[in-house]
Homo-oligomer: A and B are copies of this chain.
Amino acid sequence: MHGLMMNTPLLISSIMRFADLNYPDREIVSVTADNPNHRYTYRDAFARTRQLANALNKLGVKQGDRIGTLAWNDYRHFELYYAVSGSGMVCHTINPRLYPEQVTYIINHAQDRFLFVDLLVMPLIEKLWPALAGVEGVVVMTDEAHMPASEIPNVMCYETLLASESDQFDWPEFDENTASALCYTSGTTGNPKGVLYSHRSAVLHAYAGCLPDVLAFSGQDCVLLVVPMFHVNGWGVPYSSPMVGAKMVMPGPKMADGEALCALINRESVSIASGVPTIWLALLSYLEQSGATIPSVNRVSVGGAACPRSIIETFDRKYNVSVHQGWGMTETSPLGTIFKIKPAMGELTQDQQYDLRAKQGCGVFGIEMRITDENDQPLPWDGVAFGALKVRGPWVASEYYKLEDGDNPLDADGWFDTGDVATIDPHGVMTITDRSKDVIKSGGEWISSIELENTAVGHPGVVEAAVIGREHPKWTERPLLIVVTKEQQAVSKDELLAWFDGRVASWWKPDDVAFVEALPHTATGKIDKLSLRKQFADYKFP
């Protein structure tokens, strides 16, 4: 028997309609390539969004069609989010910093009909154009005065496109499972894979993101969106801010510029900011050099990579800013976990709090989380057992877009395997200990390569260290330590191995050490363990 409640769908257009009526005067402030200080209100934004929806109609785009964006965080990108998804098309955000061949692959794989491109990204698109056979036209996100010369045949100007359109548009109502947005993950191996979000997943994710123990967005907030809108929908901030009537500040191309961020924060009285750790290092470094402060900011959310404890501590001690580290992936929209103090944790010292805040965080209602052993059996939440981290919920991907030959990302029970290995403590705090492909499987038990690496670099003579599992006749795999040592300082194999005694479980201790001149790295600066495993493919333990 069904309940007798309205079957009103959860649609992205309903967020827009709600903000338009309830927070018409709230501001959106942007830095763009053509204007360092653009400001308008939600009322203005959604009037232009309706003009844009009419313009898209005139271009002949239909429900379900993909529209690509290659743009920084600003008001035009925000308008695209709502006009494209609100009309039932798919807003396909593309990272312009990927390798050019990846950008080409992504646009062609998604079959984007039109591209909306930031002025600063136009040189890239000019170069790629001959390979983008399916794209019907390019809209440059600027006004006539700033239009660049172009070799591309069907180039249009964003402002000109909007100028002639009516600001009246009836947003269509459709199934909430309709695709709303598309974002490709740039994995370290193989081609990028597309995650196709729905209106339902976006709206539920925004509700959860605003909760007091998550990002606690309210109408009082002024949100600085530093995380790019091409990274997992800007972590959902473009949806959650209008949902609660928060003021929005978008730094455009200035997202990694500590000085520019500091000026923007103070000019607009930003209360909360979201971004990756690198951004906060840049900001903190500027604050340190200049002696500037950011008194309006009370919290910062960090994700995308493990946040060093030093960032958390500096923000708190020097600037009275509480850092909330979250964990998520493109496949999880991205909100998976976020740290929050729970009363059950009892009295915590400042130091214990920092330690906890440096972990990946606690579950958020809507995401179920488990760790499993090699037989897919759930492991206890005791802070010790570690296993494959799996998640489930209405904003988790069930498959990749048009990935005919790819693996199903779900396990036999329907859980998404994150590819991470983690522990979960009795309070529900999750800590990632390794990547699944890097964990060392020794005699049916797992050894964390990351923990061994962290231990190794603690040795004064070690510059950099990697640990990989290598075949072992008795234990299946055993850890091999590969190190770069300091030039002036000879360290022997025995000395290095002895360093692990008392620092890790005895059976975790590496079986051997390989000394190398340098370690290979990926484009994003991580140790390239795939290369290392190839390099040591024929290695045998002594």
Contact = CB atoms under 8 A, between A and B. Distances in A.
Interface stretch (A22-30, A94-102, A321-329, A514-522): A22-30
Interface string A51-72: 0000000000001100000000
Interface centre among A23, A207, A363, A393 (most CB of B within 10 A): A207
Contact of A2 (B6, B177, B217, B333): B177
Interface in A194-220: 195-201, 204, 207-208, 210-213, 216-220
Nearest to A198: B3
Given A8-B392, A18-B363, A211-B244, A198 B2 contact: yes
Nearest to A331: B5
Q: How large is the interface on A (under 10, 10 to 19, 20 to 34, 35 or more residues)?
A: 35 or more
A254 interface: no
Interface string A335-348: 00000111110000
A196 B6 CA distance: 11
Contact of A343 (B15, B220, B365, B381): B220
Nearest to A14: B368
Contact of A200 (B3, B218, B395, B428): B3
Contacts of A286: none
A1 B402 CA distance: 12
A365 B218 CA distance: 12
A397 B243 contact: no
B365 A5 contact: no
A414 B22 CA distance: 21
A1 B244 contact: no
A211 B363 CA distance: 17
Contact of A244 (B197, B217, B365): B365
A175 interface: yes
A389 to B, nearest CB: 14
B5 A201 contact: yes
A197 B5 CA distance: 6
Given A22-B362, A368-B17, A3 B179 contact: yes
A343 B223 CA distance: 14
A360 interface: no
B207 A208 contact: yes
A344 to B, nearest CB: 4
A4 B401 contact: yes
Interface string A358-396: 000011010010000000000001000000000011111
A519 to B, nearest CB: 37
A318 to B, nearest CB: 25
23 contacts: A1-B64, A1-B90, A1-B179, A2-B175, A2-B179, A3-B201, A4-B195, A4-B198, A5-B196, A6-B392, A6-B396, A6-B398, A8-B368, A14-B365, A14-B368, A17-B368, A25-B344, A26-B343, A26-B344, A204-B207, A211-B211, A243-B365, A247-B343
